[in-house]
Amino acid sequence: MNDLIHLAWQGFKQKSKLTTLMVANLVIGITLLLTMSTIISQSGHSALSHKLEQLHHVSLNFMDAEFDRRHALRTPPMTYRDAQALTLAYKQGDIDLEGLSFSYTTSFVLDVADKSARPLDATSSAVDRAFFSMMQTPFIYGNVWDESMHDAAVIVLDKKANDHLFAGQNSVGNLVVINNQQLAVVGVIDLSNHTYRFQNISFSNRENDLAFVPLGYATNHNLPRVGYMPCMTKEESSRTGYRQYNMSGLKTAECGFIHTWAEVSPTQSEEQLGNLTLWLRNYTQQQNDQGRFTHTEPYYLQSLKLLHDTIYDFMDWERVYLNFAYLLFAITLVNTVGILLAKNQHRAKLVSLYRALGANRAYIIKIQVLELLISATLAILLGVVGAQLGLYVMYLLALYQMDYVGVAEQVQKLYSMDLFFALKAAGAIYLTILVAGLFPIIKASRIAPASQLRG
């Protein structure tokens, strides 16, 4: 094998200008292909990829009959009273589910009691206890609050907030301050694997939750409602008040702010979804008698997969770029074949000499395949480096498009190469280059040696 590698290396070095041209040509194609396919792959990646068909966003469409939802990510969250009705039905056993979770998007300034760190403007969520198990948020320290603490002054921090406020130390038991109220840290989770803020179906890649407080505490202490909060036309004028301070008014208002997630069992999903759908249909029909739910689509039950697919549908430009990348890669492969043919034409005499000296056709093919693999390896390595640069440029462009308001770390996740994906892509590229190179290689092995060795 060493001798074979030695001969292949000799072949690689011959006609160095053609070899350089071939590698450079492949590097350009691989760079573009890896850059765009990484972005598309990361965009399609879900932190809960194994639960895409199990988690469903539940919505009761209380909006006006003429409300135009536009797309799945603008589905109205639930009103307070509809969420209460669903909770009651779930508790009474009218609905059979693996789990049900309610949350709303909020925001506050996080401070530490001893002022040892700068206050942090934290995009957050008010959630119930079930949220953590359903979303499988990995705890680094501590755990979720107890069942009895649904309205207690406790908080779960994300790693980023914990790093900022407590220098990454175990902060469980420490106190943080929100609106002059002290809350005890009960756990720290790491959401670095969550590319999107999907829990409020915004699918924002700019920022994610930095803290989670109990839903009961948030409503009792009137933590603001931020994010998408549609109201019926008649409530529009009061919306600012509902967002900021008027919690009691919001509880009876036709304004949606509570995101509801239902988890079904993988083995009984059809049955459980049917059961939930039936309840939603009955509930909206019953409420319709009271003049509510006049919209033609009174409820929505959307899987996490469907929501991810919606995001993918939005990536028109990226997909166009990816198609261009495939096209360019195909062109580079055609160029590679051309360059290999040219190189082999120049080396016909050498191949003939090898044949005269006793190399059989299979040996010639082995040498040239190995030589091609050396070129492909070099091109792929340089292509990976090129793709890293390409991803960095795309990341800077994305930040620029967001007017630099996104959290850099969060945005960068979409533009980071996943090692497993890179290995898979490299393997596929190897195979493609090899297949493309077979024609010139086999052609070279069939040279009639006698014709080349005269004179």
Partner 1 sequence: MLKMNNISKIYRTDLVETHALSGVNLTIEEGEFIAVTGPSGSGKTTFLNITGLLETFEEGQYILDGEDVSQLQDKHLSRLRNEKIGFIFQGFNLISDLNLYDNIEVPLIFRGLSKQTRKQRIEESLELVGLGSRAQHYPAQLSGGQQQRVAIARALAGKPRFLLADEPTGNLDTMMARQVMELLQEINRQGTTLIMVTHDNELAQRAHRNIQILDGQLSDIAKSQLTDLAV
Instruction: Enumerate binding residues for partner 1 (CB under 8 A).
Output: 3, 6-7, 10, 13-14, 349-350, 353-363, 448-450, 453-455
Closest CB 359 distance from partner 1, rounded Å: 5
Residues 6+ apart with CB under 8 A from 203: 73, 196, 197, 307, 311
- Write down the least CB distance from residue 195 to partner 1, Å: 51
User: Which amino acid is present at 35?
Assistant: T
Q: Between 233 and 345, whose beta carbon lies closer to partner 1?
A: 345
* Comparison of 13 and 234: residue with beta carbon closer to partner 1: 13
CB of 365 to partner 1, least distance (A): 11
Q: What are phi and psi of 360, to 5 degrees?
A: -85, 175
Closest distance of CB 344 from partner 1, Å = 16
Of 123, 271, 86, 288, the closest CA to residue 197 belongs to: 123
CB of 10 to partner 1, least distance (A): 6
- Render the burial of 369-395: b for 16+ CB within 10 Å, e for the rest: bbbbbbbbebbbebbbebbbebbeebb
CB nearer to partner 1: pick between 12 and 242: 12
Nearer to partner 1, 117 or 348 (CB): 348
Q: Whole-angstrom Cα distance, residue 243 to residue 250?
A: 8
For partner 1, the closer of residues 54 and 352 by Cβ is 352
Q: How far is the CB of 2 from partner 1 (least distance, A)?
A: 9
Distance of closest approach, residue 51 Cβ to partner 1, in angstroms: 56
Q: Which of 428, 450 has the CB closer to partner 1?
A: 450
Interior/surface letters 204-238, b for 16+ CB within 10 angstroms, e for the rest: bbbbbbbbbbbbebbbebebbbbbbbbbbeebeee
167 vs 453, which CB is nearer to partner 1? 453
State how far the Cα of 90 lies from the Cα of 101, in Å rounded to an integer. 11
- Residues 136, 137, 139, 142: is their CA dihedral positive or negative? negative
**CA dihedral for 337, 339, 341, 344, sign (positive or negative):** negative
